[in-house]
Amino acid sequence: MLTNRSKVVVNKEMTFAEKIYIPAIVAGLMITIKHFFKKKATINFPEQQKPISEVWRGLHVLKRDEQGRENCTACGLCAVACPAEAITMTAAERKKGEEHLYREEKYAAVYEINMLRCIFCGLCEEACPKEAIFLTNRMTPSDTLRDNFIYGKDKLVEGIAPEERVDISYRARAHRKEVE
């Protein structure tokens, strides 16, 4: 014997109560009923949402300027800064007559973020010299298909109409707090 903690196991005959399992079932049900009346730790997301921190970093937005032109110039700095290699883009040159669409001479014809790779660190926002990409207080919706987590410009660029603009003043406030 290596220790004195050995325990002799006895193959004891079950009592009648143990054989019919009813006391065990009742004990299990009591635990279930007890939890039924307790305050739930879960919420019905997405219908219900928990309050989030002021420094929360959620779903990205690609911003437009006051005239509705895309700010992004496809410089690639956000992609280089991204530790998760979640950002890819294809640059294109702005053609004559497209000045109302793109602020700079170069723009992102394709801009994609793989939300399954993203760790919402915010480094893309920090790296951007054009104030084009921001993380917002919106959540990335759940989905069952991996392809649906590749967010292209259709999901990232904010709308032109005033009611379609994404408010990022919240991020600016959070950033000020981080700096202070």
What phi and psi, each to the nearest 5 degrees, are found at residue 5? -95, 10
Angstrom distance (rounded) from CA 23 to CA 61: 58
Member of 59, 69, 112, 124 binding ligand SF4 (CB under 6 A): 124
Q: How far apart are CA 110 and CA 75, in angstroms?
A: 12
Instruction: Provide the phi-psi class of 137: left if phi over 0, else alpha when psi is between -120 and 50, else beta.
Output: alpha
- 174 near ligand SF4 (CB under 6 A): no
Q: Measured from the CB of residue 43, what is the shortest distance to ligand SF4 in angstroms?
A: 25
According to CB under 6 A, which residues from 32 to 71 bind ligand SF4? Answer: none
- Alpha helices, H only, the chain: 16-20, 22-36, 77-81, 123-127, 153-156, 169-179
Contacts with ligand SF4 in 131-150 (CB under 6 A)? 132-133
- Residue from 55, 92, 101, 123 in contact with ligand SF4 (CB under 6 A): 123
Q: Which residues contact 49 (CB under 8 A, 6 or more apart)?
A: 43, 139
- Segment near ligand SF4 (CB under 6 A); pick from 14-22, 37-45, 72-80, 137-145: 72-80
Kindly tell me which residue out of 59, 61, 75, 168 binds ligand SF4, with binding defined by CB under 6 A: 75
Q: Which residues bind ligand SF4 (CB under 6 A)?
A: 72-78, 81-82, 84, 86-87, 89, 108, 113, 118-124, 127-128, 130, 132-133
